[in-house]
A and B are shown apart, each in its own frame.
Chain A
Amino acid sequence: MKKKKIYLLSVLCVSLFIFSCEKKEAELVIYRPPAQAISFSDVTDLIIDSTGKAVNLKAKIESKEGLQRVEVMYQPWNVNISLSSFADPNLYALNVPVNIPANAALQIHSIVITATDKKGNSNFTEVKIGLQDLNYSKLYMTDVMDAALLTSDLFGVPLVMDKVGSHNYQLIYYARSSGIKVRFVPNKTTFTPVAIGKDPANSQKLTTDGTKSLPIELAEKGYYKISVNTLLLTYKVEKFTPGGTAFNQVALVGRGFYDYPNMNWQNTLPDIILLDKDPSNPFLFTKQIKLGTPTGQTYNTAQFILTTNNGWTNFWRFDDGLNPELAVFNGGTNTDIPITTTPLNYLFVFDTYTGRIQAIKQ
Chain B
Amino acid sequence: MEKLPDAPNPPVVRLSNEIIITTLGSDFFMEADLEDGVGLKSFTLRYDDWYLYNTVLLKDSSYPKTYHMKYKFRMPDTAANKIHSISLITTNVGGKESTGQFKVSLNVDFPKMYLIESTDPSKLTNDLFGIPMVINKTGSYSFEATYYSKAANSNIWFIPGKTSLKPIMYGVDPSNSAKLTGDFATAKPIVIPGTGYYKISFNTLTLNYSVQQLPTPNPANAFPQVAIAGMGFYDYPNMYWQNTLPDIILMDKDPVNPYVFTKTVRLGIPPGQTYNVSQFIFTTNNGWTNFWRFDNGADPEFTVPNGGSTGGDFPITNIPVTYKVTFDSYLNRCKLEKQ
Contact = CB atoms under 8 A, between A and B. Distances in A.
Given A33-B53, A48-B206, A232-B19, A165 B85 contact: no
Nearest to A109: B18
A168 B109 CA distance: 12
A175 interface: no
Contact of A165 (B55, B83, B109): B109
Interface string A119-150: 00000111010100000000000000000000
Interface string A200-226: 011011000000000000000000000
B219 interface: no
Contacts of A85: none
B16 interface: yes
A202 B99 contact: no
Contact of B141 (A126, A165, A205, A232): A165
A218 B92 CA distance: 38
B85 A202 contact: no
A232 B17 contact: yes
Contact of A166 (B21, B87, B141): B141
Nearest to B51: A33
A18 B33 contact: no
B220 interface: no
Contacts of B16: 202, 204-205
Nearest to B179: A44
B101 interface: yes
Given A18-B1, A48-B206, A110-B100, A36 B48 contact: yes
Contacts of A58: 176
B84 to A, nearest CB: 8
Nearest to B15: A110
Given A165-B109, A165-B140, A46 B53 contact: no
B263 interface: no
A58 B178 CA distance: 12
Contacts of B54: 29-30
Interface residues of A, number: 34
A201 B33 contact: yes
Judged by DSSP, the binding face of B is strand
A205 B206 CA distance: 22
B18 A128 contact: yes
Interface in B1-45: 1, 14-19, 21, 31, 33
Contact of B140 (A40, A112, A167, A234): A167
B146 interface: no
Interface size classification for chain B: 20 to 34
A126 B19 contact: no
Contacts of A112: 99
Contact of A45 (B33, B85, B87): B85
Contacts of B103: 45-46, 126, 128
Contacts of B15: 110
Nearest to B55: A29
A126 B89 CA distance: 13
B85 A205 contact: no
A165 B139 CA distance: 4
B101 A110 contact: yes
Contacts of A30: 54
Contacts of A45: 82-83, 85, 103
A202 B83 contact: no
B205 interface: yes
B19 A130 contact: yes
B14 A202 contact: yes
Contact of B31 (A46, A124, A204): A204
B17 A234 contact: yes
Interface string A1-45: 000000000000010001000000000011001001000101101
The 9 closest A-B pairs by CB, nearest first: A165-B140, A45-B83, A33-B53, A126-B101, A166-B139, A29-B55, A165-B139, A202-B16, A204-B16
19 contacts: A29-B54, A33-B46, A43-B85, A45-B82, A45-B103, A46-B105, A108-B18, A110-B15, A124-B87, A124-B99, A126-B101, A165-B109, A166-B140, A167-B140, A201-B33, A204-B16, A231-B19, A232-B17, A234-B17
